[in-house]
Amino acid sequence: MNNIGSLAAWSWPETSSELERSLELALQGGFEDDAGRAFSNLAELAVCRRNYRSADGYVRAGLDYCSEHGLDLYSGYLLATRAWSELDQGRWTDAASTAAHVLDMTRDSTLRTLTVLRVLATVRARRGDPGAWEPLDDALALASSAPDELQRVAPVAAARAEAAWLEGRIDDVGTETDAAFELALRRRAPWVIGELACWRWRAGIREELPPQTAEPFSLLIHGDWRRAAELWAQIGCPYEAALALSEADDEEPLRRALGECQRLGAEPVAAKVARRLRERGAQVPRGPRATTRENPANLTTRELEVLALVAQGLRNAEIAESLFLSAKTVDHHVSAILRKLGVHTRGEASAEATRFGFAGQDR
């Protein structure tokens, strides 16, 4: 039942009840491996359907269960799904950190590795950071080994299409998605059809959509960007909501799209929206000054010094000794750094330091 539900999750509209029953039976019977698999499958199904509250609940409960019973394989699956959920919900720093952690684990699962490679690449592409195509190429190589498995090929195809579109390589979108889109149509997978169709539509490919296409995508493709944006906001996907708003012709929704993209750090889409606003005669700042781009969180010189040492893995006591500061002062600096960067852990702060290019630099 567990395996059937897992395979059907990407195609059939009603399979969660089978998986839930599988989990119930596994827990009752003490079948630990089956329970770990069921938690993993249920979490993945929920994210695929954009039901993030359920997904995050299954991830938390599943990780607790797998930790208690030493099920490292399924812990890795669940963490990969968490990274996917964080990506969709606009928590990109968390997503990149979780994905990097999973990649550091033993790569004993192709699907798990595919998921986190795609997440890392998508975060980079959406931010306009370099290095998106290497993990995308690795993911494509893994997915190509099973061309009939929708859960492998479709997410990779969508990520590669998005990265190409963000770079302005519109003609590549169709090539990247042709096979996966045809497979999704055969499997009647509503959310996969919608996501792939939407990237193809943005690239100028016009085709008839099946009636089961997921509603937010269908609405956008048929011209109702306003309702699509509302649905994405309700679902909890701020990036998709901003993309929908960016299809408007009026200044107000375009400015909302720009603001959301700037909040997320989605520089390529923000640039596209800003260009559309200027074409309509709106006044839009040209972008941050060089000094702000070099230090986008407005950290002080001392905070930059502390952050560089945090990124090197030093503890607060070691940082205090290195900078001739008291431990209490370093504690205050680290707290301020986390707040300004909008992160919660030292690992996330280190990731941001690397992204902004001042990790390990002398200040």
Residue-wise pLDDT tens digits, 152-170: 999 999 999 999 999 999 9
Tokens of 298: 């407005």
Does residue 10 surpass a pLDDT of 60?
no
Domain boundaries, the chain: 214-277, 299-356
pLDDT tens per residue, range 74-100: 999 999 999 999 999 999 988 998 998
Q: How far apart are CA 226 and CA 169, in angstroms?
A: 27
Name the least confident of 122-126, 279-283, 320-324: 320-324
Tell me what pLDDT residue 360 has: 53
DSSP reduced 3-state for 113 = helix
Q: How far apart are CA 260 and CA 231, in angstroms?
A: 16
CATH number of 299-356: 1.10.10.10
Tokens of 174: 């169709």
Q: How far apart are CA 107 and CA 128, in angstroms?
A: 27
Q: How many C-beta atoms lie closer than 10 Å to residue 152's C-beta?
A: 22
- Is pTM, for the whole model, over 0.75? yes
More confident site: 300 or 198: 198
pLDDT tens per residue, range 261-308: 998 989 999 999 999 999 999 988 765 544 445 566 677 777 888 898
Q: Which residues contact 67 (CB under 8 A, 6 or more apart)?
A: 75
